[in-house]
Amino acid sequence: MAIDTLTIYAGTYNSADDALDDYDAVHALHSELGLIDAYDAAVIAKRDDGKVKVVKKHETPTRVGGLAGGGLGLAMGLVIALFPAAAIGTGLLAGTTAGGAVLGALAGHAVAGMKRHDLKELGEQLDEGQAGLVVVAASNIESKVRHAMARADKVAEKQLKADLKELEKEAKEAES
């Protein structure tokens, strides 16, 4: 079993616009500067009723079995693990045949690869702001991602251990 260590960056914001600006800055590290090989990201925002919705997401373009390579959608998995209604409220389940099973696998791997205390801290931090940005990327680029998330009121970093081959296998099984 090959376990990869990834880093989760969770930023808390006063506005979705600030979170989206930092999302674009992280994306530029990948698309324009070539400093990140693969990453996943999700911007979340609180609605007027207090529920969380996914505003924008990115999964590395390399597709394997309907999922992105690299982080394999772990940013969305983490968001769904912390805020289960986000999957329903944003229609994430509607566009895929096995959407629920795939998101369940992602959420399960995100939760299983983290310490319970770290997961709780991330959820509490993201719940403090009006918006959040979750990025899952390789562990060797911390300073670049932290710098790109300059508009965040607070950024937490947590380690995530994931068996990406097992996650890919489970996702393929869920799709069939």
Q: Would you give per-residue pLDDT tens digits along the chain (176 residues)?
A: 566 778 889 999 999 999 999 999 999 988 777 776 678 899 999 988 888 888 998 876 544 444 344 445 777 777 877 776 665 554 444 444 445 555 555 666 566 667 778 788 888 888 889 999 999 887 778 888 999 999 999 999 988 887 767 766 766 665 55
pLDDT of residue 20: 97
pLDDT given for residue 106 in this prediction: 61
Domain ranges of the chain: 4-133+145-175
Nearest in space to 36 (alpha carbons), one of 26, 21, 46, 50: 26
Q: Quick one: pLDDT at residue 104?
A: 58
SS3 percent helix, strand, coil of the chain, rounded to 5, is 45, 25, 30
Nearest to 73 by CA among 149, 143, 134: 134
Q: What is the pTM of this model?
A: 0.77
